[in-house]
Amino acid sequence: MSQQGYVATPPYSQAQAGMVGYSAGFGNPPPQSHYGMYGSPPQGYSAPPTGKVNLLLLSSVLKLAKGPFYTHAPLSLGQRPMQVPQSPSSSAAPQQFQTSPPAAMGHPPISPPGQQPPSLGSPPPMATIGSVTAPPMGMSGPPGPGVHQPPLGPQGYPQQPGPYGAQMAGPQSGAFPGGFPGGTAQMAGPPQKKLDPDSIPSTTQVIEDDQAKRGGQVYITNIRGQVPPLVTTDFTVQDQGNASPRFMRCTTYSFPSTADLAKQCKVPLAAIIKPFATVPKNETPLYIVNHGETGPIRCNRCKAYMCPYMQFIDGGRRYQCGFCSCVNEVPVQYFQHLDHMGRRMDLYERPELSLGSYEFIATLDYCKNNKPPNPPAYIFMIDVSYNNIKSGLVKLICEELKTLLDRLPKEEGAETSAIKVGFVTYNKILHFYNVKSALAQPQMMVVSDVAEMFVPLLDGFLVNFQESRAVINNLLEQIPDMFADTNESETVFSPIIQAGVEALKAAECSGKLFIFQSSIPTAEAPGKLKNRDDLKLVGTEKEKTLFQPQRGVYEQLTKDCVAQGCCVDLFLFPNQFVDIATMGDVPSHTSGSIYKYSNFQVEVNGQQFLSDLRRDVEKSIGFDAIMRVRTGTGFRATDFFGAIYMNNTTDVEMAAVDCDKAVTVEFKHDDTLSEESGAVMQCALLYTTIGGQRRLRIHNLSLNCSSQLSELYKSCETDALINFFAKSAYRAMLTQPLKTVREILVNQTAHMLACYRKNCASLSAASQLILPDAMKVFPVYMNSLLKTPTLVGSTELSTDDRAFHRLLINAMGVEETQVLLYPRLIPLHTMDVSSEVIPAPVRCSEERLSESGIFLLENGLSVFLWLGQACPPDLIQNLFNVPSLGHLITIVFQPTSLPVLDNAHSRKIHSIISSISQRRATSMKLLIVKQKDRSEMLFRQHLVEDKGLHGGASYMDFLCYVHREIRQLLT
């Protein structure tokens, strides 16, 4: 039975006379200094040369064919005007590929975590869109020798007359909404209908299908190489030998067995590891294993920790390491007899032998200076310059801390938190406070020499909150009054962090600094910054310098922080440029978080800030962490992306590690992988708990290996892939022009899909766009990534916002990047108010909005409530307590105001917003947007299937573009 999974068949043209050798692509070939895994020049694909190139246009018919392949009858379609840019790939050297599609494999039966399931014989799933013949895009005939090709625009697309990406009020005449402006509206041939957007793969449909198929189920981790449910699906994990996907997700769960295959398919091999991910209440928390003074059992050669992949032999007296195959003696105290299957009798009594994730209590050998660590400390450092006093921020922070310090994280079973607290205020000088419990009043000590930072007191600076509560509350009462009349507007920044590090050093503990800063540090001090925001650099070779941190002082500061286990969390309240690229550098290398509230007003942003602060103080966290990823023979971890620090090529150092931070790890082959034994990896994280105990957290994962590319494509995970591409692109932009980075991303997309078409898909018409079933929505995510503020390169976007976005994504896990790159657009006007279920999202496009509707859009950072012009008055009355939409502007002054009213609609919407907010890592500001208001621009830039407001193609155009690139590679 032939299977054609998901074939997207654009109505592309017949070959035209004069089209021979016409190149298509994304600008000039990129230089050799590629990033990530793209170290080789783009490679072509060998296929029978036809001498002609069919140019592409996307068609109407979408189907999922699980049985014999068939095509729908052609529909009459409209044309998509599009000019043809030059391609880096057209001149690339061809690469030999196997000529016949490989035999595909089916789903494995249940087997123990270490065993390779036998393969069955079903072909790989694909996706198709039916095919129709049409003239080339953007032309009414073949280009003659004198045809002028337009220059390339900022996105590698042709530059059209007028500003690229200018705002359009509605659908263009003769084109599609969000299409390329200025294209030929009239095409040769009879007038045809507009292309149906429903004919292209839908992210919302994929999410819905996975939820319907796997939602509410128990996901058991006993099968090697098993692809988990999507991050958007609600499921319960039962650990039976492999780590939960909450801790580890991979770009593919079947690694190619050779380096050549990996190079051929261009699919990055990576894992996104969130070692401290939150475990839901209905799942078992991690077991803690204590091996006493001898400590955890490890392989003598590769130092991997005991796990389910170790094979016990010789009656249980020895074991063979599942990573390096070294045979080790079993320590006497760990000996256990084997059963008739060769398994230890105590297999299910020991978490390290039967589970994918668990913790070991570490011995003194794992501690600094062989001494048990002290509990960590939290130091609150408040900028008391004029701006923060005037805005009411200082008063807000002090009021909040009085109650928040009662909720410091504590060890399970402990009555109170062991975390010590300290307080510093600053402008261009620093004020330290002695809050020792024996004092009647807090004492202030001033350090005005910020060039040589020291801590003026040891005893009484870091204290237990419960013991010193009265003195601390007294201090928090006094701080706003002490600085009420200040005129000081200059601040320092680097000396503050240095003071925090020195305080932790003196107390011999790790900890976290909470810094609340409102302006760029311009006071005379180490780390003084100047305004270097130059929008003239946008779109030039030097644009990358805007995102490179200023070096020197901050580089040394990062090293000092990591060495001491000092994590920096930065809360920024800027009214103008503050150089986030530099100020965020220390937080982003110490696994800290960065929060930004532009033009802060207590009434508007106060609740959002307090919500972030509370979550940040309360969340589960470990300190002074070192992580190492070990792998089986044949491949190794080569690159690491995240809010981390690397002093060498193997140890990932994190001053702290919390439940939101993820590290993306790329793997490369150094030998052939065995299909029988698969690929195994182990993430070991050594850290200090909030109670001051040293522990090792272990996560193990086993994947399949295959010499069939169809297996790799079948087990890809789009959400994990896009996380990898986002982080590798955001690192590359520090050293390469943005145009080059964008070209590489598009190139990579085309290569991955062309390789699938060449090696895994059944024979079909060249005009069909054939996508792997597991990657059918990959193009919409990639196009969305290309339109993110960081990569789009527009002077309308502030440099700080772009740098902030870059640092945020760098630390994100798969769930966070998924919703950021494809926001949820939820219709609220048709919802069932009596149901507890959140309405199903619709596609993220202007076409899905209706004038009589209300829609909620959220992307993990912001929430928008969009109100159509013809919204029913009774709905407006229920939500805002005003008679109609027209009255809203005069009554609701704040765009964030959504009153809590006593009716079903109001309760339901507040319940939906609350439910969404609980799943997100940061508090989301609610913006209420009326159709055709100015504020609608902010909302529209998140409609990722449409043309970008600041540049960037619509999803439809991007798919056309990628299809043409694929065909270029195949010919």
Whether 280 and 260 have beta carbons less than 8 Å apart is answered as no
Rounded Cα gap, residues 672 and 695, in angstroms: 35
- Between 667 and 57, where is the model more confident? 667
**What percentage of the chain exceeds 90 in pLDDT?**
66
Residues 297 and 405 in one domain: no
Confidence (pLDDT) at 126: 66
Give the Cα separation of 256 and 752 in Å (integer). 14
Kindly report the CATH number assigned to the domain that includes residue 483: 3.40.50.410
Q: Which amino acid is at 477?
A: E
In a domain, residue 39? The reply is no
Residue 686's DSSP bridge partners are 626, 696
* pLDDT of 786 above 70: yes
**Could you tell me if 554 and 607 lie in one domain?**
yes
Q: Is 478 in contact with 507 (CB distance < 8 Å)? A: no
- 478 and 540 housed in the same domain: yes
What backbone phi and psi angles, to 5 degrees, belong to 301? -90, -60
Q: Determine the pLDDT at residue 895.
A: 55
* Token pair recorded at residue 52: 């002609």
The DSSP-derived string for 788-840 is: SHHHH--TTS-HHHHHHHHHHHHT--HHHHHHHHS-EEEE-TT--TT--SPPP
The predicted structure's pLDDT at residue 811: 95
In a domain, 876, yes or no: yes
Residue 579 counted as domain residue: yes
Q: Are 122 and 3 in contact (CB under 8 A)?
A: yes
- Gyration radius from the chain CA atoms: 29
β-partners of residue 716 are 252
Same domain, 466 and 526: yes
Cα–Cα nearest to 657, from 811, 482, 498, 803: 811
The answer to whether 663 and 640 are in contact (CB under 8 A) is: yes
Closest CA to 861 of 938, 793, 931: 938
- 898 vs 288, 371, 945, CA distance in Å? 46, 54, 28
Contacts of 925 (CB under 8 A, 6+ apart): 605, 608, 862, 863, 896
Identify which of 433, 438, 442, 439 has the alpha carbon closest to the alpha carbon of residue 462.
433
- Between 128 and 494, the higher pLDDT residue: 494
Q: How far apart are CA 373 and CA 431, in angstroms?
A: 28
Whether residues 441 and 563 fall in one domain: yes
Domain boundary among 619, 653, 687: 619
- Name the 3-class secondary structure at 287: coil
Residue 210: inside a domain, yes or no?
no
Asked whether residue 399 carries a pLDDT value surpassing 90, the answer given is yes
Residue type, 217: Q
What's the confidence (pLDDT) of residue 441?
A: 93
Model confidence band, residue 764 (pLDDT cutoffs 50, 70, 90)? confident
Which bin fits 138, alpha (ψ -120 to 50), beta or left (φ > 0)?
left
CA dihedral 548, 549, 551, 557 (to 10 degrees): -140
Mean pLDDT of 274-281: 95
Domain final position from 578, 603, 619: 619
Could you tell me if 294 and 385 lie in one domain?
Answer: no
Co-location of 396 and 427 in the same domain: yes
End-to-end CA distance of the chain: 28
**Residues 531, 769: Cα–Cα separation, whole Å:** 48
Residues 530 and 400 in one domain: yes
- Domain end marker among 619, 654, 671: 619
Mean pLDDT (whole number) for 385-411: 94
Residue 794 has what pLDDT? 86
- The pairing of strands 635-641 and 663-669 is antiparallel
pLDDT tens figures, 496-509: 999 999 999 999 99
* Cβ-based neighbours of 128, under 8 Å, separated by 6 or more: 4, 5, 6, 7, 8, 9, 62, 63, 65, 69, 71, 764, 768, 769, 770, 771
* Token pair belonging to 888: 């809203």
Question: What are the angstrom distances between the C-alpha of 179 and each of 746, 925, 959?
Answer: 18, 31, 12
Residues with Cβ < 8 Å from 365, sequence gap 6 or more?
295
The two structure tokens encoding residue 354: 């039967």
Q: What is the DSSP string of 327-385?
A: EEEPPGGG---B-TTS-BTTGGG-HHHH-SEEEEE--GGGSGGGSPPPPPEEEEEEE-S
- Supply the pLDDT for residue 886: 81
The CATH number linked to 866 is 3.40.20.10
Domain count across the chain? 3
Whether 542 is covered by a domain: the verdict is: yes
Which residues, 6 or more positions from 789, have their beta carbon under 8 angstroms from its beta carbon? 797, 801, 802, 805, 950
Query: pTM (2 decimals)?
Result: 0.82
Summarize pLDDT for 911-947 with one digit per residue, the tens. Answer: 999 889 888 988 888 889 999 888 888 899 999 999 9
Same domain assignment for residues 436 and 319: no
Based on the domain organization, do 346 and 382 belong to the same domain? no
Residue 617 has pLDDT above 70, yes or no: yes
Tokens of 921: 């890592």
Provide the 3-class DSSP secondary structure of residue 942: coil
| Residue range(s) defining the domain that contains residue 582 | 376-619
Which one, of 649, 625, 617, 645, lies nearest residue 565 by Cα? 625
Q: Is the pLDDT of residue 584 over 90?
A: yes
Q: Confidence class of residue 18 from pLDDT cuts 50, 70 and 90?
A: very low
Across 892-915, b (16+ Cβ under 10 Å) vs e yields beebbebeebeeebbebbeebbee
CA 787 to chain centre: 15
Contact 785, 738 (CB under 8 A): no
In this structure, the answer to whether residues 400 and 504 fall within a common structural domain is yes
Is residue 810 one of the residues assigned to a domain?
A: no
488: CB partners within 8 A, 6+ apart:
385, 386, 427, 428
In degrees, rounded to 5, the angle at the alpha carbon of residue 479 between the alpha carbons of residues 478 and 480 is 100
Residues 6+ apart with CB under 8 A from 805: 788, 789, 790
pLDDT per residue as tens digits for the range 879-914:
888 888 888 763 333 555 788 888 988 889 999 998
In this structure, are 336 and 388 located in the same domain? Answer: no
CB 354 within 8 A of CB 348: yes
The 10s digit of each residue's pLDDT in 534-577 is 999 998 899 999 999 988 899 999 999 999 999 999 999 999 99
**Predicted local distance difference test score (pLDDT) of residue 133:** 29
Which CATH number characterizes residue 292's domain? 2.30.30.380
Rounded mean pLDDT of 235-243? 96
Element (H, E) at 476: helix 465-482
Distances (CA, A) of 444 to 143, 424, 479, 745: 79, 9, 11, 54
pLDDT at 150: 35
List 127's β-bridge partners, or say none: 6, 771
pLDDT tens digits, 646-673 = 999 999 999 999 999 999 999 999 999 9
Q: What is the pLDDT of residue 128?
A: 59
For residue 507 the two structure tokens come to 């107390």
Alpha-helical segments (H) within 641-777: 709-714, 718-732, 738-759
Indicate whether 193 belongs to any domain: no
Helix axes 718-732, 799-810, angle to 10 degrees: 130
pLDDT band at 129 (very low <50, low <70, confident <90, very high): low
Please provide the average confidence, as pLDDT, over all residues in the chain. 82
- Percentage of the chain beyond pLDDT 70 is 79
- Largest Cα span, the chain: 93
